[in-house]
Amino acid sequence: MSRPTLYISRLLPDSVMTAARQQFTLLNEPSEAVPSREAITAGLREADAAICTLTDRVDAAMLAEATRLTILANYAVGYNNIDLAAATARGIVVTNTPDVLTDSTADLTWALLLAVARRVAEGDAYVRSGAWSGWAPTHMLGTDVWGKMLGIVGMGRIGQAVAQRAAGFNMRICYSSRTPHARGQISSQWEQRAMPDLLRDADFVSLHVPLTPSTHHLIGSRQLALMKPTAFLVNTSRGPVVEEAALVEALLQRRLAGAGLDVFEQEPDVHPGLRDLRQVVLLPHLGSATLATRVRMGMICLENITAVCAGRPAPNQVNRAQT
Ligand code: DGY
């Protein structure tokens, strides 16, 4: 029996590419470059299975041409880049990569939180510039993290992992979540709040919601106005969850102390106002970016594809309920 044909939109870590070559006939040798819409469309049209990344927008028109495609494995936990309804209507299984990136993303959230509160990026740039003339009692004073209140918007896997890490900083946790958590499912010390109350009370607000129509601009000028002027916003979820122009405005007017951002509304473009602000730390969407995690994400994609090509259910299907 001939091996299924696999389209991979972007170069994945070596061990994933090796495994993919061993198990499938690769339609293409992917590169690090972002593929054009035409290239993705052709890949989806000609392959039995595909791995796409969060930067690949896969819409209904593209899926309409994907007549032999059985599975689209998204190399991410979020799948807002795919028209799920269109895939479902065509019987294409869509999968994601949950769990394996939870801890890496939670770690990076903390890296941003600490960096923005303790002015880590700014301090690093200062030392490198050669301008540092020595220790001073009043120099580059930041904000304590320990003992403060951390507000988590979206208490899913990553939100919970971020909250767990706060124990070492003796922080209070409050959270808002649309999904009810059964008693005993999450720590009883974490206080559930309505989002406006969380925004009013938290010293650090960290966002962990998926991007959906209802979370688009979840944090805009009204929500930012509720936050304390001493508070910090951290976003490692999806850029469009925050209305960037409103965030820039709040930061410029000192209605917010700072922000740590790993994701942006129009990646890779960054609102020019953000680049000029020293009270923000900006990262190029590194949430899951450790070698081990990116390998595990690739292996999960391959496992899902193997299952579907063998006629078995995909372990991480996200459109299961509708197919
Ligand atoms: C995801 O999987 O959604 C992450 O953003 C990838 O880094």
For 262-310, the pLDDT digits (tens) are 999 999 999 999 999 999 999 999 999 999 999 999 999 999 999 999 9
**Euclidean distance between CA atoms 57 and 308, whole angstroms:** 22
| Strand positions, DSSP E, 93-250 | 93-95, 149-153, 172-176, 191-192, 204-207, 232-235
pLDDT of residue 182: 72
Which of ligand 1's atoms lies nearest the C-alpha of 285?
7
3-state helix, strand, coil in the chain (%, to 5): 35, 15, 45
- Name the β-bridge partners of 176: 153
Sort strands 258-261 and 280-282 into parallel, antiparallel or unpaired: parallel
Give, for ligand 1, the residue of 51, 96, 101 to mutate: max count of ligand atoms closer than 8 Å to Cβ: 101
Ligand 1 is surrounded, with C-beta below 6 A, by 54, 76-78, 101, 285, 287-288
List, as one string, the DSSP characters of 225-241. Answer: HHS-TT-EEEE-S-GGG
Query: What dotted CATH number matches 102-282?
Result: 3.40.50.720
Mean pLDDT of the chain: 96
- Start and end residues for every CATH 3.40.50.720 domain found in the chain: 5-98+290-322, 102-282
In this prediction, residue 1 carries a pLDDT of: 65
- Going by C-beta distance under 8 Å and a sequence separation of 6 or more, which residues neighbour residue 160? 186
- Cα-Cα-Cα-Cα torsion 7, 12, 16, 22, nearest 10 degrees, comes to 40
pLDDT of 140 higher than 90: yes
Q: How many residues belong to the chain? A: 323
CB contact at 8 A, 30 and 312: no
* Record: fold of 5-98+290-322: Rossmann fold (3.40.50)
